[in-house]
Every structure is written in C-alpha cells, then in structure tokens.
Structure 1
Amino acid sequence: MSKRAVLEVIALDAADAVAASRGGADRLELVTDMAADGLTPPRETFAEIRAAVDIPLRVMLRLADGFTVAEPGAPGDADALVEAARGLRAEGADEFVLGFLDEDGMPDLVTVERLLAELDGCRWTFHRAIDRAVDRDALRKQLADLPGLDTYLTAGSATGVDDGLPTLLAEARAAGRGEPGYGPHMLVGGGLRLDHVEVLVEAGVDGFHIGGAARPGGWEAPVSSEAVREWRTRLDG
C-alpha cells in the first residue's frame, strides 16, 4: 500500500474510545444502541469521548432503526435529526455519519441536504444505507457534489462483506479508474473479518471499519485494545 490504511472503530463510550485509541485506531464512529445498528449518541457522551481521546470522531446522525426517515411528527423525523445535528455541532462535533433513502430506495436528498445545512461543510460518511439502495452507482452519482462527503461505509451487500466482496472489488476498480462518483474514500465494514483483508488490500482498499471484531466478548463487553492492535498490525503488515 502506498499509505497507511485507515482503521475506524465503533465506540459506545469513553472507555471504548480510550481502548480503541491505544490499540491503534485512526478514527472512531460514535453511536449508541447497536441493537438498532447504531443510533445518535447523547451530546454528553460525545463530550466525554472528545475529552478522553484526541483522534478524529465521526458521530452518527440516525435516530431510529432503518434507513428511511420517520414521517413528520413521529419519533426520529427530519426535524428531530436537525435538532440532534445542531446540538452536536454546538458541543463541538465536526465529523459525522449519515445517510437516508426514500421509499424507492434512492437517496433522500431532502433530508440529507437539510442536515448538511446544519453541518456547514463538516466532513461526513454516507453509511451502509448504500447497501440497501436499488442502484449503488446512481446513488454515488446523485451524491457526488454534496459538500463534505468524503467516505462511503459499505459492506458491498446488505448481508455483509462475505456476500458483498465482488461489489467491493468492482467499486475499488472503479475508484482506481477515477470514475465519477467514486472519489470518496471506501471504508469497508459490516461483517468484516481479518481473512477479508488481504484480497481487499490487493484491490486497493485502504479503509476498514470494525465493531464486533473489536469486542471478542460481544457487544455487552468493552472494546479490546488487543483486538484493535491485531487489526492495526495486519493492516500495517
């Protein structure tokens, strides 16, 4: 590889953050409620983690399970998302993770653009909603000019990296050719294992995202510095 691979680790609290940082994580994704695949953490949690570590933090903007936004007036609707974004910005958050689809499985540009107005140029990741889109290539092209978008978190498939590997390799080739919409960094995560790393690295992938893999004891257990260090060593090797 021509440059050090990015290793992003999911953190639920300050203890996770410290352990991940000690293990060699480059960046953290801050979430709560992994039973719902990761929702927006409280402002207080962000503040505690920000005080505990000095590596970049990307905060999830997602208030309900699923990848479509709730109807107006329902919990987790677009107004609530905007309020969450505003509060986190006020707390000092400057990197985010978000992504919503409409009922047809294409990007919900109305909601995304409302949030980007609050983020005011902050860098952000479009998360695994891409793995539920009806047309990944069209989604990338629709989002290509949005300010701050620098990363896609993807497993290549809604069911994880095992099934998504051919798609990931094809998209890595498209990025290598400089195709429109493939400029943002590819961050691979979702059922990612160490035995996936070699083929992904050979294809030019240099972004890796782990959650459960950083917690050998399961989601009820904290992040293990040793587990993160194993990933760091493999990526650096």
Structure 2
Amino acid sequence: MSVLLEVIATTVADARIAAQEGADRIELVTAMGEGGLTPSVGLIEAVVAAVSIPAAGVPVNVIVRPHSRSFVYDADDYAVMLRDVRAVKEAGANGIVIGMLNANGEIDRDGLSRAIDAADGMAVTFHHAFDETRDLRAALDVLLGFDAVTNVLTSGGKASVLNAQPTIQELVKQAAGSHCTVLAGAGLTVDAIAGFVSATQVEAVHFGSGVRVGGTGLAPVDAEKVAQVKALLNVSGIAARVR
C-alpha cells in the first residue's frame, strides 16, 4: 500500500478536488494563513457530504482551534473547543485535529483528556502545537499514552519539515508499532516528496500549500499536483493507515 496522503481543504471545492485526485484524508480548516482555525458547521457538513459520495468515501478530519494567539488555552477557550468538538462529531466528520500546551511548553494532558472525552470515539490528531513543545521526544511519549490519539502532525520542530528529516526519522522509529502515526507536514513539495519519504520512512504526509496553485496558501487546490504526489506515494511501498 502507499503512504497516506492528507490534504488541507478550506472550501468544498478544495475537498472535492483533493478526493477526486486520490487524497486519502482531508483536513478541513479555515484561516489557513493563521495555521488553521475551526471552520463553520455549515462548511463541515457540506465537505463531509461532498467527499462521501464515492462508495468508499474520504475521511474528513476537522481542526478545532478557537484562535491563533497561542496553544495555551483558558477556561473560556476550552468551553468553546469542547462545544466545537461535539459539533464536529454531529456534523459527521471522521475526527478532530487539536492541540494544547501548558505555560511550560508541555502537552496539556488534562485539556487533551477532556477533548478526547468530547470526541466520543472520533479519531484524534494532535496538530502542530507539538512542534512548540520543549522536547519533541518527551511530547511524543505523552501522546503515545493516549490511545485515542492516532496521528501527530509535525514538521520536526522546524518551519519546513524538509529541514528536519533526521528528527522525523527518529520520531517515526519512536512511534513504530504503536497506535499513533507520525504525520509529516509543512514545506513538502511535489519535487521533494519521494526523497523525503525514502529518507524518513514516514507512513503519512500532510500537504497544504505544496499542492495548491502557485504554491500559495490562499490559492485553490491544484488537481494536477495532488495527482502527482499520489502517484509518487503509490510507488513508495510503505503501508498507509487511515485513521
């Protein structure tokens, strides 16, 4: 099987194109330029409906992030986030993409536990907040203690994951055989993907700007680029796990 391909969508059209061209999973966000914020319920419902038309369907994971100030949240933020998590489930999504830290730069275990409870069985991806932790290996150990966390999205602590290949390789080894897949993303391009996968042995990759028209975040998804990435991943020979 091929390496799993996750593509960011910000519109129904984005999601439809990505699904048609072979994306294995959609991450639905709004405000991509701010790192992604929680989309509206209407958009979630429309995207889930649009990519569920094929027989197998494409899973939609939805970011739950109330603002872009930081990943340290107060009680009001959590109240909003937990309501949004429940709304995402009600809208028919496959999972949530979420992350929270404490003031010491560590994963907020209590906050994550509360989000998992609200998710009520949905898949949970811990997002790029992971890259702002003080110790990535220690943070991954924390996440491996949560059975509900099936993916950790990371750029290896760098602005571009292409500059963090040794770190990604270490994280992949650390997570090997567990319930949690290292989802590598940020800075990936069509030209670089084959070499990156070969070097790191990742089982899942995450594309945003790299599969958009002109390589810019505000542009629509480029069907040809998604198809190219999918074709390159199909010959990688690494098993994908859709979660």
Q: Does the pair score TM above 0.5?
A: yes
Q: For 2:139, what is the secondary structure of its paired residue?
A: helix
CA distance in 1, matches of 2:10, 2:217: 10
Q: Which runs of 5+ in 1 are unaligned?
A: none
1:189 aligns with 2:192: no
Deviations for 1:169-220, whole angstroms, at most 9, x for unmatched residues? 22223344x5xxx651111101112314324234421211101011123233
The equivalent residue for 1:59 is 62
The equivalent residue for 1:24 is 22
The equivalent residue for 1:214 is 211
The equivalent residue for 1:92 is 92
Deviations for 1:110-130, whole angstroms, at most 9, x for unmatched residues? 211111111112111111111
Query: In structure 2, do the counterparts of structure 1 residues 8 and 106 end up closer, same or farther at CA, with 3 Å as the change threshold?
Result: same
Q: For 2:46, what is the secondary structure of its paired residue?
A: helix
Deviations for 1:68-93, whole angstroms, at most 9, x for unmatched residues? 233334xxx11111111122222222
CA distance in 2, matches of 1:102, 1:146: 17
Query: In structure 2, do the counterparts of structure 1 residues 171 and 70 end up closer, same or farther at CA, with 3 Å as the change threshold?
Result: closer
Q: For 1:188, what is the secondary structure of its paired residue?
A: strand
Mapping of residues 169-180 of structure 1, within 5 Å: 169-176=169-176, 178=177
Deviations for 1:123-164, whole angstroms, at most 9, x for unmatched residues? 111111111110112112222232321111111124221322
CA RMSD of aligned residues (A): 1.7
1:82 aligns with 2:82: yes
CA distance in 2, matches of 1:98, 1:83: 13
CA distance in 2, matches of 1:64, 1:24: 31
CA distance in 2, matches of 1:20, 1:94: 16
Identical aligned residues as a percent: 32
1:70 aligns with 2:91: no
Q: Give the conservation status (yes or no) of the 8 Å contact 1:116–1:147.
A: no
In structure 2, give the amino acid aligned to 1:119.
A
Q: Provide TM-score, normalisation by structure 1.
A: 0.89
Query: In structure 2, do the counterparts of structure 1 residues 87 and 183 end up closer, same or farther at CA, with 3 Å as the change threshold?
Result: closer
The equivalent residue for 1:146 is 146
Deviations for 1:43-98, whole angstroms, at most 9, x for unmatched residues? 1000000111120000101111154233334xxx1111111112222222231111
Q: For 2:213, what is the secondary structure of its paired residue?
A: coil
Q: For 2:48, what is the secondary structure of its paired residue?
A: helix
Q: Provide TM-score, normalisation by structure 2.
A: 0.87
In structure 2, give the amino acid aligned to 1:186.
V
CA distance in 1, matches of 2:86, 2:144: 24
